[in-house]
Amino acid sequence: MENNTLNIKISEKPAYSYPIIIGQDLDFFEYIKKYTKAKKLLIVTNKTIFSLYEKKIKADNAYYVILEDGEEYKNFDSLKKILDTAIENRLERRDCFVAFGGGVVGDVTGYAAASYLRGVDFIQIPTTLLAHVDSSVGGKVAINHEKGKNLIGAFYQPKAVLADTNLLSTLDKRQLKTGLAEVLKYAFIEKSCGAELNYRFYDFLDAYSEKILKLDSVILEKLILICCTLKASVVEKDETEKGLRAVLNFGHTFAHAIENLTGYTKYTHGEAVAAGMIMAAKLALKLEMIERSYFVKINELINKYELLPELPGFDKDEFIEAMHLDKKADADKIRFILPDSEFSVKMVTDVDESLIKDCIEI
Ligand SMILES: NC(=O)c1ccc[n+]([C@@H]2O[C@H](COP(=O)([O-])OP(=O)(O)OC[C@H]3O[C@@H](n4cnc5c(N)ncnc54)[C@H](O)[C@@H]3O)[C@@H](O)[C@H]2O)c1
Ligand SMILES: [Zn+2]
């Protein structure tokens, strides 16, 4: 079957563009040959993924770094392991780092690629749905610091993203759903992304929910293509997060507070985002930015995919405090991305705290 290719062009770097190739059972090494001049490859993955896909990523010219599995390994130690392996094996400027994994592997490998020899080529092979539709597109790479997530990082674009939907078949349901929360987010921000689609993404997700949940590969490829088109449209116009890119944070102001107050371990990011989108929709309704019918529509789609977790009763003052700590908050104003009409969002600051408190439930 023909693979879909989407070309990303960054307006801040007009000469720069790279493809996202979306298909099934892609021949990774053929594509790497096509898009880089690498003699040696440094493939970074984690134990879980390596044990599932060892054969698929074996190559004679590759060195491997197999990290432990978990967000806590998106850290300096993993960065050092990657750089040490590159140095020991004398990778050169023209060689290439390959991230074979979810967002954790993608972020740390990208950051290592950005810093090794002041930047070597980097290919993303995402293995989670979240990485297919979100973390592998856009060029944000980072590691965590004990004081906070993603505090050390860069904007560094890959040479290509190879999105193979077959890899998603081994994901567990919870990981699939965490990616789906970000997928649904694109439906609610569609009109603010500045891309022309042939159909409403909301309607697509509404119509094909069963096929999507069963990982129908043709529908999944379309879904990934749409999400990448929308994210790319935003990133192409605002690579380094000066403005438009904020629309991608729909639901995230509330989500970050949920994650922060529950120690980043109780909920997946997508569960927090699903709850955060409901809270943001509630706030928009209270601010009379949207009609009740649209509020219901948002709830219906999120419920159709069963994305919402059970939340504890949060202390509302602590919740507001956690929102202020979010690194995207201005000095002392909490920034929200809220729906302002169907499938469109805008940034809102200066919201009355008592109104926010009324929305901290789902
Ligand atoms: N750079 C960005 O723009 C961006 C955007 C969103 C999120 N992120 C980052 O992404 C990370 C989260 O990414 P994630 O949700 O992919 O988490 P992850 O990388 O931790 O992967 C989730 C789990 O799925 C397992 N897994 C991965 N692929 C698998 C497969 N094919 N089959 C079976 N199991 C598999 C992993 O081992 C892990 O246990 C966070 O660190 C977040 O900060 C970055
Ligand atoms: Zn997110």
Q: pLDDT tens across 282-302, in order?
A: 999 999 999 999 999 999 999
Q: For residue 182, how far is its CA from the centre of ligand 2 (angstroms)?
A: 6
Average pLDDT for the chain: 95
Torsional sign, CA 241, 242, 247, 253: positive
| CB within 8 Å of 279: residues ≥ 6 apart | 251, 254, 359, 360, 361, 362
Planar angle of CA 314, 151, 112, nearest 5 degrees: 135
Distance CA 241, CA 246 (A): 7
Ligand nearest to the CA of 138: 1
Nearest CA to ligand 1 atom 4: 135
AA letter at 171: L
State the pLDDT at residue 325.
80
- Domain ranges for the chain: 4-168, 183-357
Checking phi first, is residue 260 left (phi over 0); if not, alpha (psi -120 to 50) or beta? Answer: alpha
Fold (topology level) of 183-357: Dehydroquinate synthase-like, alpha domain (1.20.1090)
3-state secondary structure of 135: helix
Question: Which residue do the tokens 């954790």 mark?
Answer: 104
Mean pLDDT of the 123-132 span:
98
- Counting ligands in written order, the one closest to the CA of 245 is 1
How many angstroms does the Cα of residue 141 sit away from the middle of ligand 2?
Answer: 14
The answer to whether 244 and 205 have CB atoms below 8 angstroms apart is no
Measure the CA–CA gap between 110 and 126, rounded to whole angstroms. 12
Tell whether the model's pLDDT for residue 147 goes beyond 90. no
- If pLDDT is split at 50, 70 and 90, which confidence band does 16 have? confident
Query: pLDDT band at residue 9, thresholds of 50, 70 and 90?
Result: confident
CATH number 3.40.50.1970 given to 4-168: yes
> Tell me: the pLDDT tens digits for 225-268?
999 999 999 998 888 888 899 999 999 999 999 999 999 889 99
CB 162 within 8 A of CB 124: yes
| Res 190 pLDDT > 60 | yes
* pLDDT for residue 14: 67
Mean pLDDT, rounded, for 197-205 = 95
